[in-house]
Amino acid sequence: MSGADTIVQVLADEGVETIFGYSGGAILPTFDAVFRYNEHHKTDDADPMPLIVPANEQGAAFMASGYARATGRVGVVIVTSGPGATNCVTSVRDCMADSIPIVVICGQVATGSIGTDAFQEAPVSAIMGSVAKHVFLVTEPERLESTMRSAFEIARTGRPGPVVIDVPKDVQNWTGSFQGEGLLSMPGHLHRLEVMRKNVLDDERCKEFFGHLANSKRPLIYVGGGVVNAEASDLMRELALTYEIPVVSTLMGLGSFDTTHDLSLSMLGMHGAAFANYAVDDCDLLIAIGARFDDRVAGDPPKFAPSAKYVLHFDIDPSEIHKVKPADWFHIGRLRDALEALLAYGRRNSISLEHTAWLEEIAELKTTYAMNYDRDTALIQPNYVIETINKITRGEAIITTGVGQHQMWAAQYFDFRRPRLWLTSGSMGTMGFGLPAAIGAQFACPDRLVIDVDGDASIRMNLGELETVTTYNLPVKIVVLNNFGDGMVMQWQRMFFKGRLSGSEKSLRKKNFIKAAEADGFEYAKRLERKDDVPRVIEEFLAFEGPAFLEVIIDPEASVYPMVPPGLSYRDMVTGDFIPNRYDGGDGTQPGASEMF
């Protein structure tokens, strides 16, 4: 086989069903190999491994990310050298920050030309090495096949992440034997995996865990995206239900526990529900599962969960233990194995716990400090829009977002009945993520309702992907909450910079989103401006059979509440005019300038 055919055959062997990519000179042999593979294996006029072409390479990598987030499988991107590769840098870093497995295959100039500043050459290894889980530069063609297989193994095992393979054009054109198996020698990686596999909870460690739980009157599970990545949500739910432990979730953990369940407190943190944050303040035992005490959650770490006598921490990555918040008991290993061991120990020893008084307190918190907003204004409130969509979708739709206020409103007001329904850029916070991620998710789940809830500023970043939606006739539903500016930045500027809207207020721009959507082939493209029309138009919009675009003109000064100012504790949470605040605004501490955003 040629090197290019080898690349494509390994993709097929790995079960890849969809490729996202953009062509160019240095990757042409591989693109041609994809074409020939699909022609040869076509059934019923369907390509076995369709190649989806976006508007640009960042969009391709975000599509692969959306695909991976929606399925748990490795997303695949193929791009050319130079700008093709560098356009993927943001997406690769985004996947690394959220532990998302993708493989990016980049073309590269011929081996003999590397380092000569050849046309469309870029130092991919140097650039990507600092943002990816691993990077390969293939200079020995005989190692191409094993490198490809190793890339998938590294991307999906341990803590998942993005792997980049830089393949010079002469390596793609090389011809040699195809082995059909084999990995590179990866002793360090394989050793770490073996340590994780062997590091299981024995009876003594399980006894310690249940000893802490038995001595607790107000236990709380704090769950993060690691539970979703580990496919361990079902076991975490069983633990919570069996021992009556309420659950709070990070932004990335939403959906790991059914948000409609009585034990769910939904999202905690900077823009978490007030009742969730107050439960964290009140708990006497905090059980962190696949969560990393991110600054958007912990705020002021010493004051996070101040009443907790013990912090118990589960994670697959040893670097997360004690990194932000010291743990009194911890386990480093595979989450499914650990949770299975705990549940089995509890059954063998007939452990039965009840926390009736604590659950009554939780119910009272959820009632007293419920999410709320101005329901009487004539202006359309974004919360109302999302509530209305949620009444129809009932926590079953796949929701993607860009980054900003709309992202937080979506996290606050949507329900998620199961994992992998909530796809958002968490740690990296990348504007422009929502639309391409929705495309990737729709390819991954063609029979599911996929909705991109976006902002006017965020969707501009990858607006070209509107055409990708209609090119492939994807029934993606796109909602743009338009407040004519960078809403989250403006909120911070109003709160912390005396209202100086420097570079964030875009009301003078003349972007007509409806005409843009129509120009890209959307048969349904409407603007919603009247509050009374919200229920009717949203029902009509969601029921439309093909691609649909809805722009909603919202209150330009709507803010996201609750909000914990950066670097501060939950006592300093600002709840706005419509959610009670039991601390009455905290002690007046202001965030330091270096902690902003």
Q: How far apart are CA 20 and CA 91, in angstroms?
A: 13
Backbone φ and ψ for 135, nearest 5 degrees, come out as: -130, 135
235 close to 339: Cβ distance less than 8 angstroms:
yes
Axis-axis angle for helices 405-413, 487-496 (nearest 10) = 100
Burial of residue 112 (CB within 10 Å: 0-12, 13-18, 19+) is exposed
Any idea which residues carry the catalytic annotation? 57, 119-120, 169, 488
Q: Which two tokens stand for residue 439?
A: 């495309």
Q: How far apart are CA 100 and CA 229, in angstroms?
A: 8
Helices (H), 176-215: 187-198, 203-214
Nearest to 94 by CA among 12, 161, 18: 161
Nearest to 452 by CA among 473, 427, 474: 474
Nearest to 391 by CA among 214, 540, 538, 192: 538
Amino acid code (one letter) for 140: E
DSSP-based three-state secondary structure for 473: coil
Q: Which two tokens stand for residue 72?
A: 């748990």
DSSP state of 593: G
Tell me how far CA of residue 538 lies from CA of 104, 213, 334, 373, 549, in angstroms. 37, 45, 42, 20, 11
DSSP-based three-state secondary structure for 452: strand
Identify how many contiguous H helices and E strands the chain contains and give both numbers.
24, 18
Q: How far apart are CA 256 and CA 234, in angstroms?
A: 8
Instruction: Give the max Cα distance, the chain.
Output: 72
Query: b/e for 140-170, b at 16 or more Cβ within 10 A?
Result: ebeebbbbbbbbbbbbbbbbbbbbbbbbbbb
Q: How far apart are CA 122 and CA 82, in angstroms?
A: 5
Burial of residue 510 (CB within 10 Å: 0-12, 13-18, 19+) is exposed
Q: How far apart are CA 367 and CA 509, in angstroms?
A: 42
- The CA angle 246-252-256, to the nearest 5 degrees, is 45
